[in-house]
Structure 1
Amino acid sequence: MKRHAAREKAFQILFQLDMIEEDTDLVIQERLEEEEKDEFLHILVHGVVEHKQSIDEEISANLENWTFNRLPSVEKTILRIAVFEIKHLTDIPTNVSINEAVELSNRYGDEKSGKFVNGVLSKIIK
């Protein structure tokens, strides 16, 4: 599985986990169906779950005119993945993480999601 596809699957899994508290590995298994295991996907999902509190604090500290609790679930989930990548996966260039997050936002969010996610992530990397 390519990293772009792994990010998209990770988004779907983390979005589901945010809505309903379930076992992380069970949700991964359900979402992957018969597809092969993907190490990058597991790193993303488990990393976001493990570091969720510090990631959420980082996002919250960089929001303007928003509170973290008011963020739509799509943007919140995408930001969590990107912040995890930026802060914990040093082998991925920051601009790649941001570009991937913006692409996911444009696909799953509304017409303003990509700009919003880009703005928050730009503040985080400064």
Structure 2
Amino acid sequence: MTETPSDTRARLRRSARLSAVQALYQMELSGTGARAVVKQFRDHRFGHDGEPGEFIEADEDFFEDLLSGVVRAQDDVDKLTASTLKEGWKLSRLDATVRAILRAGGYELLRRTDVPTRVVINEYVDIAHAFFEGPEPAFINASLDAFARAARPAADAAPES
């Protein structure tokens, strides 16, 4: 079965999201800035047809937007994320990978209104399943759902048919 352009775009964005979560994790642990990490991913991790080696095929511009966007909007994303956590929980107490997933998903929900809410939540829950076998994917689902309700209240107010 041939992949449609829509399927290709979705697949490349999925790879970009996973790479963005990995890059955000790397940035948090190493203290490296977004520009340097974007360059590293473009130079050493992303590949194109015909290149030797094992590379990730991803929407590189979308990846860069996610990474630089999370950095630009991190205060807003973190504040809104913190407001969705149960009382007594702090963002800093969460696993670094969970924080990276919530920040990337939060950025998309807050600033990338061209991406439907359900797509954002489903994509990052799938990413959580790639990293965790325990309760984390459900936690990420609930957190991003609460984030979406706060960030996009009108988007979810459409009448049901």
Fold similarity call, TM over 0.5: yes
**Amino acid across the alignment from 2:83:** A
Q: How far apart, in 2, do the equivalents of 1:64 and 1:23 lie?
A: 30
Q: What residue number does 1:75 align with? A: 98
Q: What residue number does 1:38 align with? A: 60
Q: How far apart, in 2, do the equivalents of 1:10 and 1:59 lie?
A: 18
3-state SS, counterpart of residue 2 of structure 1: helix
Runs ≥4 in structure 1, deviation > 2 angstroms? 34-37
RMSD: 1.6
What is the CA-CA distance between 1:110 and the residue it aligns to? Answer: 3.9
1:61 aligns with 2:83: yes
**More deviation, 90-99/31-40:** 31-40
**Amino acid across the alignment from 1:28:** V
1:85 aligns with 2:108: yes
**More deviation, 16-25/87-96:** 16-25
Residue-by-residue CA offset, 1:90-120 (whole Å, 9 max, x unaligned)? 1100000000110111111342111000011
- Which residue among 28, 35, 38 is the counterpart of 1:18? 28
3-state SS, counterpart of residue 92 of structure 1: coil
What is the CA-CA distance between 1:24 and the residue it aligns to? Answer: 1.6
Q: Percent identity?
A: 27
Q: How far apart, in 2, do the equivalents of 1:46 and 1:85 lie?
A: 12
Compute the TM-score of the two structures, normalised by the length of structure 2: 0.73
Q: How far apart, in 2, do the equivalents of 1:59 and 1:88 lie?
A: 14
Q: How far apart, in 2, do the equivalents of 1:110 and 1:80 lie?
A: 20
- Which residue among 105, 109, 118 is the counterpart of 2:132? 109
Q: What residue number does 2:12 align with? A: 2
Contact 1:11 1:81 in 2 (8 A): yes
Contact 1:75 1:113 in 2 (8 A): yes
Please, which runs of 5 or more residues in structure 2 have no aligned partner? 1-10, 49-58, 150-161
What is the CA-CA distance between 1:125 and the residue it aligns to? Answer: 2.0
Please, which runs of 5 or more residues in structure 1 have no aligned partner? none
